[in-house]
Structure 1
Amino acid sequence: MCTREFWLMCNTFNMHFLRLQVMLSVMIACSRGLSLSELPHEVDGKHNEHYDHEVFLGKDNAAEFEQLTEEESKRRLGLIVDKIDKDDDDKVSEVELADWIWYIRTSFVANDTNQIWIQLDHEDGQLTWENYLRKTFGHYHENPESPHSPLYKYRARVKEEKRRWGLADLNSDSVLTKTEFMYFVHPEESKHTKDVIVLEYSEKLDRNGDGKIDIEEFVMDINSHDPRTQTQQWKDLRRQEFGQRDKNKNGVLDFEEMKEWISPENYNPAKAEAHHLINHADTDKDGVLTKAEIINSFNLFVGSQALDYGDVLKKHDEF
């Protein structure tokens, strides 16, 4: 049905869309106070190493990472600690750790944006909507809603992407620069685009299309590939959480209540993750971490955003 080149572009687009879904999951998990995964850091008062390993390795990369010995991974972790310790006092403060996490986060956004950007047909550093559609869907059509349009079966996704495009287009000239494209790919990175994440997730949950999320729609937000989200215990917890999120107690979640859940104004995920790591690894409870404390908590840190889910251990040139 399509050429090899288009198949590759289709695959790129699917990966792009998957990354957006992953980022959304991260933001939602953070806003729930569950760090970077919907799995809790603790189960029955005990640290959940399954959470750390799943976030660090990823299901697809687990086999690759297993090629590193624990000794080599710890050696590389020690080198990273030296980079985090900016003032060279042999201690990692919460601020230093949060700064490192934020550095890893921004590096990921920049690299991810660039990898997608270089595969698109842009001219003079600008990308048109028409070229974007052609490259990602294989077609361009002015009216995807028409049953005769080659984009008709993708119409919902095209509509969603068009809304993102308009918000990312800061000067409203109908084309995106690379910076604007970053906001399109990662709308969570800017105040003027991040509300679209709330809209997209709300629309995903809003099965009856009334613009609000009732308790049954909230409970039905499950991952069909994760049996843990399909248990009665999960549903009971979701009902309890709905009651907490429904601030005005009118039985539904409106946009502002959804926004407070997904993208709270004063929440800093880097600071929250740094606080979590120090809280668990700081054995002498002095509020900072030594290299020994970090390496002794190896299983905790390999599951942390501080190491970009383990990729940092494999990518740094100095290793």
Structure 2
Amino acid sequence: MIYVSKVYSKPFKFVKGESDKLTLDKLKPQDHIDALKMEHDGHINKEYHKELFLGDHEEIESDSKSADAKMKDIFKKVDLDTDGSLSELEMEDWIKQKMQEHFDEAITENEQIFKHLDPDGNGKVHWKEYYVHFLLAMDVPEEKARKHVIDYDIVELDSDDKEDLIRYKFRWADADEEPEDNELTKEEFLSFRHPEQSPKSLNNMVFSIINALDKNGDNILTVQEFAALPPGEVEGEDQKDLDRQWQKERENEFHIAVDIDRDGKATKEEVHKYIDPRNPIQAKMEAKSLISLIDVNKDNKLSIGEIMDRKDIFLSSKLADFARNVHDEF
């Protein structure tokens, strides 16, 4: 059954039926974006190495035998000249391929979700259409969800859901290009969910990152700001050691990858280059980074033995997970 609701100038339609309901995971814009170095809040993406090297890594991380087999299979695919080692160029080409796969997956998923949100096929989705589907995904009855976008007191949302929707509304507005009509085209909806696909949204993401980390308001990041710990008391020597390790990683990342001109400061332009996955230098930098982390004999190549000895770089460890969770609010 098709319902029509004139809650704004142009009626919108959506299909009734449990099988047609999208999940929240499908509807929410992505805070964590595969193959992007940083999150919106300034977090370094701890999954970055594995996302670029392994692809769909979640399915193998719980099974060590499967993980070992996957690592060896990937090694063979990357080793194009079959000389038993991975050169920087081979690594770079593989990383470019995996980056493109992430972009293609995002576009394919966006097509499917947008088609669901736009059943009349007019090529646009209004914010209130999205809002209704968001409520349906939260198991709000359909009639109640449709009324809520007219009278916002109909449904009582908890504080977390309200905050999420406020954030999403700002991101919706960021993605809404001229004319700014509160409706998103398929391309704009892709920017809403995956800002790395849009120059405008990527610029907004740079602003968000700098705003989260910049302490003195000069729109420039120092290494101290980039590596600053979030507020809060730290208890226990183990936790202090993790904090020091975390800060050292951030400092190294700043000096090696962010501060391009090595003047001790990162401008908006440098942060943009750092997070832009379409920047050609990204694959080269990541290949260099992986070799520097894994290459024990310093021949500027990676053997299968070196990779297997340092597979923790690609697979989650309890220590890495714990450290990431401790700073999840940063």
Q: If the TM-score is normalised by the length of the shorter chain, which range does it land in?
A: 0.5 to 0.7
1:269 aligns with 2:292: no
Q: Answer 1 or 2: which has greater helix percent.
A: 1
1:200 aligns with 2:208: yes
| Cα pair 2:195 2:201 within 8 Å, conserved | yes
Task: Give the number of equivalent residue pairs.
Answer: 266
Distance, in Å, in 2 between the alignment partners of 1:170 and 1:75 is 45
- Residue of structure 1 equivalent to 2:321: none
Distance, in Å, in 1 between the alignment partners of 2:177 and 2:132 is 22
Give the counterpart letter for 1:111 in structure 2.
E
- Residue of structure 2 equivalent to 1:104: 98
Q: Among residues 182, 185, 188, which one is paired with 2:193 in the alignment?
A: 185
Give the counterpart letter for 2:98 in structure 1.
I
Distance, in Å, in 2 between the alignment partners of 1:60 and 1:223 is 31
Inter-CA distance 181–229: structure 2 relative to 1 (3 Å threshold): farther
| Cα pair 1:277 1:300 within 8 Å, conserved | no
Instruction: Name the TM-score, length of structure 2 as normaliser.
Output: 0.54
- Residue of structure 1 equivalent to 2:170: 163
Per-residue deviation at 1:12? Answer: 3.5
Q: What is the CA RMSD across the aligned residues, in angstroms?
A: 5.6
Note the residue ranges of structure 1 that are not aligned, 5 or more in a row.
Answer: 31-35, 40-50, 246-252, 306-319
Q: Among residues 66, 70, 77, which one is paired with 2:74 in the alignment?
A: 77
| Cα pair 1:93 1:287 within 8 Å, conserved | yes
Distance, in Å, in 2 between the alignment partners of 1:157 and 1:191 is 23
Q: Deviations over 1:167-196 (max 9, x none)?
A: 434453644344333222221233221122
Q: Among residues 60, 66, 69, which one is paired with 1:68 in the alignment?
A: 66
Instruction: Name the TM-score, length of structure 1 as normaliser.
Output: 0.55
Inter-CA distance 52–187: structure 2 relative to 1 (3 Å threshold): closer
Note the residue ranges of structure 2 that are not aligned, 5 or more in a row.
Answer: 1-16, 137-144, 259-264, 316-330
| Cα pair 1:222 1:229 within 8 Å, conserved | no
| Cα pair 1:126 1:178 within 8 Å, conserved | yes
Give the counterpart letter for 1:176 in structure 2.
L
- Residue of structure 2 equivalent to 1:118: 112
Q: Deviations over 1:247-283 (max 9, x none)?
A: xxxxxx9xx8577457648894322210122335556
Inter-CA distance 109–96: structure 2 relative to 1 (3 Å threshold): same
Per-residue deviation at 1:95? Answer: 3.5
| Cα pair 1:198 1:258 within 8 Å, conserved | yes
1:221 aligns with 2:230: yes
Q: Deviations over 1:127-164 (max 9, x none)?
A: 413322222244476689x7677679545433432333
